[in-house]
Structure formats: structure tokens, C-alpha cells
Amino acid sequence: MTTAPAPVREPAWQLPRSAIGLWTVESAISTVFLWLGAGAFLLFVPASAGGPVPVLRWVLPALALLHTIIAVGIRPSVKHRIYRWEITAEAAYTRTGWLTQTWTLVPISRIQTVDVTRGVLQQMFGLATVAVLTASSQGTVRIWHLEHDVAQRVADDLARRAELVRDQAT
């Protein structure tokens, strides 16, 4: 008799609220570059040029404003509600993505290396990312933007449990 595989379930833990601030700053930075590009277009492309240019002179700023509202005002909060993670005795689970969601399950027995990384903005917000590397062709699975001390404990725990599984297999 075979049993059906366990369904993909919601990982238990949300990211800390400081991840919203990090995503907001990241979006604001990218939005600045978008506005610089739109400004350069408006500054250097003459309004009297023929073709679609006159329409672009008002459509481009409108699209940049729409992008800014979504990227800075909406996306960080939505991502915070969606991004989740959990470590169980058998696996590490993550759910990421805000338009296309991805559920990832990494069995503890498949873990080869666990890393903790902190970018400049993550350091400002006291956050870190745990990277779980496997031998799979899918590569690395990341648990993004955990509080730094939580990330360190998760990485230590995963590395210890992966080592125990390897020791039991030999």
C-alpha cells in the first residue's frame, strides 16, 4: 500500500516587518533610476519630433508614476503577506513571489551547504538571507530577509541537522 505525498502547505513563518522597509527602499532606489531615465527622455528628445514622441511625453511620466505607486506603495506589503518560510524536522519550506508564487521544499537529507549573507541594505535593516545549497539541478534555495540572529540560528540548525543525516547515511 502506498501513501499519497503530502500536499504543499503554507510555511508557518512570515518574514519580519522590517522586510517591508527593505523592499520599500529597494523599490525607491530603482524608481529613482526610472525617473532619471524618464527625465532624460523628456529633456533630450524634442517635443516637436514627429511620430509617437509627443504622446510619449505624457504617457512616460504617467507610467513612471503608476510604477512608483505599485513598486513603493503596494508591492512591499503584498510581498510581506506572501513570502513565508519554515524549517521542520524533514525539510525547509519557502513560498516566494508576488505575481508568480513558488513553493519550495528542500529535504534536510539533500542539503550540502548553508550560508548566511547580508547585503548593505540588509545590514541597515538588521536582516540576512539564508542560502540552502543542494546537489539538485535547481541550485540554491534562499530564505530571504530574516532577522540576522534568526538567520544565524536557522543556518546553524540546518547545517547541524544535515550533518547528522549524512552521518547516519554512512
Could you report the per-residue pLDDT of 33-88, keeping only the tens digit for each? Answer: 999 999 998 888 877 756 667 788 889 999 999 999 999 999 999 999 999 999 99
The CA distance from 147 to 127, in Å, is: 4
Complete DSSP assignment for 96-113? E-SSS-EEEEEEGGGEEE
- What are the pLDDT digits (tens) for 136-162? 767 688 999 999 999 999 999 999 998
Query: Looking at residues 112-118, what average pLDDT do you find?
Result: 95
Range of the domain at 111: 84-169
Show Cβ contacts of residue 160 under 8 Å, excluding neighbours closer than 6 positions.
Answer: none
Q: Of 55, 80, 105, which residue constitutes the final position of a domain?
A: 80
pTM of the predicted structure, to 2 decimals = 0.84
Question: What residues does 104 pair with on adjacent strands?
Answer: 94
Examine the domain organization and report whether 56 and 38 are in the same domain: yes
Under DSSP, the state recorded for 47 is T
Same domain, 93 and 163: yes
How many domains are there within the chain? Answer: 2
13 is a domain residue: no
- Tell me which of 64, 80, 96 is where a domain ends: 80
Predicted local confidence at residue 66, as pLDDT: 97
State what percent of residues in the chain have pLDDT above 90.
63
Instruction: Looking at the structure, tell me whether residues 49 and 98 fall in a common domain.
Output: no
Q: Is residue 144 in some structural domain?
A: yes
**Residue 61 near residue 69 (C-beta atoms within 8 A):** no
Question: Is residue 10 domain-resident?
Answer: no
pLDDT of residue 99: 84
47 and 114 housed in the same domain: no
Domain boundary among 53, 80, 107: 80
CA gap 82, 15 in Å, rounded: 9
Cα dihedral 70, 94, 19, 98 in deg (nearest 10)? 0
Write the CA distances from 118 to 26, 96, 109, 127, 168, integer angstroms: 14, 19, 26, 7, 32
**129 with 143: CB under 8 angstroms?**
yes
